[in-house]
Amino acid sequence: MRRGRLTTWLIAATLVVAAAGPAPATAAPTRASFTEIEQDVMCIACHEPLAVAQSPEAFSERAYIRTLIAKGMTKQQIEKQLVVQYGPAILAKPPAHGFNLLIYVLPPVLLIIAVVGLAITIPKWRRRSRAAEPLPAGPELDPDEARRLDEDLARHP
Amino acid sequence: MRRFLIPGVIAVTAVAVLALLTFGVSQQTDASSIDARVADGKFPLAPSAHVSLPILGSSASKTLADYRGKVVVLNVFASWCQPCAGEAPLLAREQQTLAKSGGTMLGVTYLDNSSASEQFAHRFHITYPVLRDVSGSFVRSFGTTGVPETFVINRAGRIQALQREPVTEQWLRRTLPPILAERS
């Protein structure tokens, strides 16, 4: 029993070490991919993602990115350098701080408000509709009118 | 109290959205207002005069206010802009004349990386100072949305003339002498 538990622990420990992957010191930095960067940055003058922009500014940005890739910089380093050169507006996804934080915070907050609003309102509406009194019945038909109604209905099957 | 919860939340959201829109609109500079004032002879003060911008090829920075007392021909350009390359030799030559008359050309780069701007300056023998507007907020305050654009700022720091297209020799000859002649 004790031996079995020890074996389980050993297997678990081996799996954890294997999942952690090679030590960071030995990991080679990934070379940046031009296509990947192009999708994450903007052509500022043309207000379009660089990947689709065809303006002179876009060509200039692309040339600059290629020189940075040639220097062996990583994607993160290149994006940082692009911000230094062109400002934060170059990033397709603005950094999550300052006023830009609203872009990330506002949609989930609005969604939560909407969901809470519906969660409060819908049960109230249901309670109200259940509690609503049935419509009062009309006056009784006299025998003459009842007979005429039956005749009319019989005529139109 | 509960009755006011939903309308309250809706009202707060509406106010927040309106505030956001107002903020966004207030950040826009209307180019036509500067142009109209210049055309009417009501020369507006050059905006963002105290904003410090890095000098191209240097670790130092300068503000537009540092040039107060001089006539400044502020040229917004980018190395990737063909019309900018077209007017660059003319502006480089103009600097020689301006320097003798108490004026200076001042370049401001627009959405350009520093190495490309430096190559551009070297290629066209630009000897006048060039500032880098990295965030773009400086040129936006002039209503700039494209390049090249040129603003003539008089000795009092007011925009006295502007050209939202490439400048020509004729435009410079017609515009600069009277502004340079003013001693305020």
The per-residue pLDDT for range A73-107, each reduced to its tens digit, is: 999 999 999 999 999 889 998 878 788 888 888 89
Q: CA nearest B135 in A: which residue?
A: A87
Domain assignment present for residue A72? The answer is yes
**Phi and psi at residue B86, to the nearest 5°:** -65, -40
Instruction: Report the interhelical angle of B169-181 vs B82-100 (nearest 10°).
Output: 30
ipTM of the complex: 0.73
Same domain, A64 and A52: yes
Domain encompassing residue A101: 96-131
Cα B80 to Cα A64, B8, B84, B124, B147: the distances in Å are 11, 52, 8, 14, 10
Domain assignment present for residue A117? The answer is yes
3-class secondary-structure state, position A51: coil
Domain assignment present for residue A16? The answer is no
List the strands of the sheet with B130-133, edge to edge: B130-133, B103-110, B71-77, B149-153, B159-163
Structural domain boundaries of chain B?
29-181
Q: Which of A44, A120, A121 sits opposite B111 (nearest CB)?
A: A44
CA dist., res. B43 & res. B179, Å (int): 12
Same domain, A76 and A108: no
Chain A residues closer than 8 Å to B22 by CB: none
Q: Are the beta carbons of B29 and B141 closer than 8 angstroms? A: yes
Same domain, A62 and A33: yes
Same domain, A88 and A100: no
Chain A residues closer than 8 Å to B113 by CB: 60-61, 64, 85-86
Q: Which contacts qualify for B161-168: CB closer than 8 Å, 24 or more apart?
A: B161/B38, B162/B34, B162/B35, B162/B38, B164/B31, B164/B35, B165/B83, B166/B83, B166/B84, B166/B86, B166/B87, B167/B75, B167/B87, B167/B90, B167/B91, B168/B90
- List CB contacts of B56: < 8 A, sequence separation 6 or more: B107, B109, B114, B117, B118, B121, B129, B130, B131, B132
Chain B residues closer than 8 Å to A60 by CB: 78-80, 112-113, 116
DSSP 8-class letter at B111: S
Q: Which contacts qualify for A123-130: CB closer than 8 Å, 24 or more apart?
A: none
Q: Are the beta carbons of B76 and B110 closer than 8 angstroms? A: yes
Count chain A–chain B contacts defined by CB atoms under 8 A: 48
Chain B residues closer than 8 Å to A67 by CB: 115
Same domain, A61 and A102: no
Number of domains in chain A: 2
DSSP 8-class letter at B158: B
Cβ–Cβ gap B81/A44 under 8 Å:
no
Domain assignment present for residue A77? The answer is yes
Cβ–Cβ gap A45/B111 under 8 Å:
yes
Over residues B162-182, mean pLDDT: 96
Bridge partners (DSSP) listed for residue B161: B152
List residues of B whose CB lies inside 8 A of any A CB: 5-6, 9, 13, 20, 78-82, 110-116, 134-136, 146
| Tens digits of pLDDT across chain A (157 residues) | 455 555 555 555 555 455 444 444 445 566 789 999 999 999 988 889 999 999 999 999 999 999 999 999 999 999 999 999 999 889 998 878 788 888 888 899 999 999 998 999 899 888 888 887 667 777 788 889 889 989 999 988 6
CATH number of the domain where residue A57 is located: 1.10.8
Same domain, A126 and A77: no
Domain assignment present for residue A5? The answer is no
Domain assignment present for residue A138? The answer is no
Q: Are the beta carbons of A110 and A104 closer than 8 angstroms? A: no
Q: Looking up tokens 């000859």, which residue turns up?
A: B173
Chain B residues closer than 8 Å to A56 by CB: 80-82
Domain assignment present for residue A2? The answer is no
Q: B29-181 architecture in CATH?
A: 3-Layer(aba) Sandwich (3.40)
Q: Which of B9, B111, B135 sits opposite A113 (nearest CB)?
A: B9
Chain B residues closer than 8 Å to A59 by CB: 80
pLDDT at position B14: 87
Same domain, A89 and A35: yes
Q: CA nearest A88 in B: which residue?
A: B135
Cβ–Cβ gap B112/A60 under 8 Å:
yes
Domain assignment present for residue A61? The answer is yes
Cβ–Cβ gap B81/A67 under 8 Å:
no
pTM above 0.90, yes or no: no
Cβ–Cβ gap B116/A120 under 8 Å:
no
Sort residue B130 into left (φ over 0), alpha (ψ -120 to 50) or beta.
Answer: beta
Cβ–Cβ gap A60/B114 under 8 Å:
no
Cβ–Cβ gap A60/B9 under 8 Å:
no
Bridge partners (DSSP) listed for residue B131: B55, B108
User: Which of A95, A113, A142 corresponds to the end of one domain?
Assistant: A95
